[in-house]
Chains A and B, each alone.
Chain A
Amino acid sequence: MSDFKTIINAYKDKPGGIIEAYHALQREYNYIPEDAIRVAAETFRVSPAQAYGVATFYSYLKVGPRGRYIIRICESAPCHVAGAAEVVSALESQLGIKMGETTADSKFTLEFAECVGQCQGTPVITINSTPYVGVSAQTIPEILQGCR
């Protein structure tokens, strides 16, 4: 608990800083722990419902656990025509999970994303926000190996 407080408190004087605080929590935990929402609500003097409402509105924020490596696959039209679906199948079969799921060892989470702004190299995935461009079923194993 004290950890959340320290992280959240760093933003308490920023007007509207609750989203910045959520980003900071995610940098630490990769997700927003449920209990942190209540602390954020108190710190920014909004109701828990409002704090929860903000945390669940944004697709980049996630309440509750997910893996250490969050793999997001862009499925916007330019990535779609460049073969995003094959990248999805390759990831699903190699990790043995479906999109939206986390591996049993809590290492990987697969999520869909819309355009992540690296469209010069479609199809694109990001792993913990780092973009990988021009990926294909062939290059996936090597990329996954790089995640330790």
Chain B
Amino acid sequence: MAEEMRIVLRNYGKIDPLNIDEYINAGGYKSLEKARAMSQPELIEEVKNSGLRGRGGAGFNCGQKWSFSYGIDSEQKFVVCNADEGEPGTYKDRIIMENDPQSLLEGMAICGYAIGSDKGYIYCRGEYPYVVEILNKAISQAKEKGVLKDFDIEVRMGAGAYVCGEESALIESIEGKRGEPRYKPPFPPVSGLWGKPTIVNNVETFANLPVILEKGAEWYAGIGAPAYPGTKVMTLTGDINNRIFIEVPTDTTIRQVIYGFGGGIAGGKKFKAVQIGGTSGGFIPEALLDTQIDFNSMAAIGATLGSGAVFVMDETRDIVDVIEKVTKFFEHESCGKCTPCREGTKRMHEMLKHFKAGQGNAKEMGRLKKLGAVMSVACLCGLGQAAPAPVLTTLEHFQADYFNKFC
């Protein structure tokens, strides 16, 4: 059986998260020292060569992103940690922050040195006030020890808007505004928080950095799938025996995740579908379970790795019933800034309500497909662009469930 590999969760259960000495005794903050002994371009090159790509969903090469901000001459730059974690079925960033907050702070400080920034923000979702407390304690311990040197980190709290996970909306929210995404370009690494160069990275991305610095880019690049190396923390939910979190190399297959780590389908029932990456992820049928979880392999089957949420449904589940909830989510979370999404998510939910009530028909199914296709290209931000994915993939792989709802 495939095995777990704990990189970002290396200290899970081994150290007291609220005692910085234990983190330091476990080798903590050596990587930051090592980074600071390198030149900035050397450091950025090392991170680039490790192949580390963003764990927040978009999968952008981390070192490459940093190089954009490094290359800009500005008296102020910012490092922002995206801890908004709003994707349903996901709680991996919480696990990291609750169990090893210093590892996140160290990763942010490494980024700060690389791009030339002395100020970091952690944008933590409003649903995690207890995590905010942990982070604040960890920051004050790090300041007391002087390990962060002149790099300051402040925690800001989100307030229950899924769209604020989108990096430009998140920036608007830190600025104290409504969390509406910005028009791009310019992208945040060039012009972000208060118009200054800003690197936004996910919690899991930052938590990888101390280990990459410690063991080297080459070591990291050799783990998992070459195009998206390293590990991924996955959270297993739904009709699965083991509702747990795991950290596995990225060449692990979906089948290994569900049947190996997850222990298979609960109650001895048969598998029907799995949605990976959160609510905006595609639905995957049995025939595609041997796909590797890495970013590129998932994209190749029209799905996503996204946040790493793994939501399993057994044979008794009605896909239309689940999709109705999914479309309700997007109607609720659309920020309303652009028409295709504001109107489109509402209409999609409306149509799904029809289907759920047994009032579907072929014509409406066609409209649903067309609307989905338009939204995925016409919406301003990733929320509206990804919202149709669950609908379109179920129309492709689970048509029978829709036919069952024809009047």
Contact = CB atoms under 8 A, between A and B. Distances in A.
B161 A80 contact: no
Contacts of B243: 119-122
A61 B160 CA distance: 8
Interface string A46-61: 1000100110011111
A114 B238 contact: no
Given A77-B322, A122-B243, 12 more contacts: A54-B177, A57-B178, A57-B335, A58-B158, A58-B161, A76-B325, A77-B88, A77-B275, A78-B311, A81-B317, A115-B89, A119-B91
Contact of A76 (B128, B175, B244, B329): B329
Contact of B156 (A19, A113, A114): A19
A75 B325 contact: yes
B157 A57 contact: no
Given A53-B178, A81-B239, A119-B235, A76 B91 contact: no
A40 B91 CA distance: 33
A54 B176 contact: yes
A87 interface: no
A146 interface: no
B305 to A, nearest CB: 17
Interface string B201-240: 0000000000000000000000000000000000101110
Contacts of A46: 176
Contacts of A20: 156-157
A23 B128 contact: no
Contacts of B194: 15
A50 B159 CA distance: 16
Given A19-B159, A77-B311, A117 B322 contact: no
B179 A77 contact: no
A81 B160 contact: no
A126 interface: yes
B248 interface: no
B176 A117 contact: no
Contact of A23 (B157, B174, B178, B325): B157
Contacts of A114: 86, 88, 162, 329, 332-333
A141 to B, nearest CB: 25
Contacts of A121: 243
A108 interface: no
A60 B126 contact: yes
Contacts of B311: 77-78
A65 B160 CA distance: 18
Which bucket holds chain A's interface residue count? Answer: 35 or more
A38 B26 CA distance: 50
B160 A59 contact: yes
Contacts of B126: 23, 58, 60
A23 B125 CA distance: 12
A23 B159 CA distance: 8
Interface string B318-354: 0000100110110011010000000000000000000
A9 interface: no
Contacts of B317: 81
A115 B90 contact: yes
Interface in B159-199: 159-162, 173-179, 194
A76 B162 CA distance: 12
Interface in B233-262: 235, 237-239, 243-245
A119 B86 contact: no
Contacts of A15: 175-176, 194
A117 B125 contact: yes
Q: What are the 8 A-B residue pairs with the smallest beta carbon separation, nearest first?
A: A60-B160, A16-B176, A58-B159, A76-B88, A115-B88, A59-B160, A78-B237, A57-B178
B156 A77 contact: no
A116 B86 CA distance: 8
Interface string B76-114: 000000000111111100100000000000000000000
A15 B127 CA distance: 22
A115 B176 contact: no
Nearest to B180: A57
A19 B126 CA distance: 11
A11 to B, nearest CB: 10
10 contacts: A15-B194, A16-B174, A17-B176, A57-B161, A57-B178, A58-B126, A59-B161, A60-B159, A77-B326, A82-B238
B50 interface: no
Nearest to A75: B325
Contacts of A115: 86-90
Contact of A80 (B87, B158, B325): B325
A58 B129 CA distance: 16
A78 B238 contact: yes
Nearest to A116: B127
